[in-house]
Amino acid sequence: MDRVECMRAFIETVRSNGFAAAARALDLPRSTVSKQVQALEDAIGVQLLVRTTRSLHLTEAGTEYFESARDLLAALDEAEQRARDGVGELRGVLRVNAPMSFGLRKLGPLIPLFHERHPQIELQLVLSDQQVDPVRGGFDVTIRIASLADSSMVARTIAPAPRYLVASPAYLERAGMPQSPEDLANHAFLGYGYLQSGVSLALSNGEETRRVQLSGPLQANNGDFLAQVAEAGMGIALLPSFIVDDALAAGRLVAVLCKWQAPPISINAVYPSARRTPQKTRAFIDFLVEEMSRANERVGCP
């Protein structure tokens, strides 16, 4: 069998976590995909996958081979694309992973514009608030909204993501407007993520930093959900501007302690390190940087 096609079958099987899902993605019979992976293992003389009745697992050799094969096929696809430069449009599949709220609020309006520029690129978008492994997930671009730790991935900042402490007018009328960071300890805090015993938050006014311990009745892993319950008067939440700007502009939420800022975070595009970044990946990230720079105003705090 063709070695390259066998490698593609193996990579898609790992990404899809199964032969059946890989076969659907590749538009091939399941038996063909299974035979291609077996032929690849026979050709190199190494077991790459451990097969059970319910799941597949990479062997140690398979993990190393997966990363090398993925990079090799990406380089091959890029070489073919470069050969077409000047005679055709960017084309191919681009797999993107992004947080749910960012995808719905920002990528939703932008994806049609990107498609108009590059109609031959097929986008496969996966929205999830779980932090995925971009390599194992087979994503060309992963959007992360955070301060990034060092990793083997390459990251490019798309735009800053200012965050506001926000609450509903009804909540503030009932519980009072915080006047200092320390006042937050006496308020109901709506936390992001699954936190067991509150959160320690550092706030800075440019001259000094104060750390306060916050707790409250709710933790959730989705920013839009926290914004909704904040609007309903349940407490104070710390959320990025792209989630709360509309509610702030409409008066459904009010920003508190505007002179005190949480540590900065940004919207980042994360992608596998490679000697050459595929052009379709660069085109998508450049597009996001261009479009996001047009909508970076601070509505909540002057």
pLDDT band at 113; cut points 50, 70, 90 = very high
Q: Please, what is the average pLDDT of the chain?
A: 86
Identify which has the larger pLDDT, 252 or 192: 252
Overall average pLDDT of the 120-130 stretch: 89
Overall average pLDDT of the 257-286 stretch: 84
Domain range annotation of the chain? 3-85, 92-154+265-295, 163-255
pLDDT tens digits for range 219-247 = 888 899 999 999 999 999 999 999 999 99
Share of the chain above pLDDT 90, in %: 44
Q: How far apart are CA 165 and CA 260, in angstroms?
A: 9
What is the pLDDT at residue 119?
A: 92
Q: How far apart are CA 184 and CA 179, in angstroms?
A: 9
> Which CATH architecture describes the domain 3-85?
Orthogonal Bundle (1.10)
DSSP state string for 195-238: -SS-EEEEEE-SS-EEEEEE--SEEES-HHHHHHHHHTTS-EEE
pLDDT tens digits for range 40-93 = 999 998 899 988 777 788 998 988 899 888 888 877 877 776 666 555 678 888
What is the pLDDT at residue 183?
A: 93
Question: Cβ(263)–Cβ(202) under 8 Å?
Answer: yes
Identify which has the larger pLDDT, 195 or 56: 56
| Fold held by 92-154+265-295 | D-Maltodextrin-Binding Protein; domain 2 (3.40.190)
Overall average pLDDT of the 259-277 stretch: 81
Identify which has the larger pLDDT, 279 or 152: 279
DSSP state string for 135-168: HHHT-SEEEEEEPPPP-SEEEEEEEE--EEEEE-
* pLDDT score of 196 more than 50: no
Q: 229: how many CB neighbours lie within 10 A of its CB?
A: 16
> Can 3-85 and 163-255 be said to share one CATH topology?
no
Task: Provide the residue count of the chain.
Answer: 302
Q: How far apart are CA 248 and CA 298, in angstroms?
A: 10
Secondary-structure class of domain 163-255 per CATH: alpha beta
Kindly tell me the burial class for residue 243, based on how many C-beta atoms sit within 10 Å of its own C-beta (0-12, 13-18, 19 or more).
buried
Q: What is the pTM of this model?
A: 0.68
User: For residue 142, what are the β-bridge partners?
Assistant: 97, 270
What is the pLDDT at residue 256?
A: 95
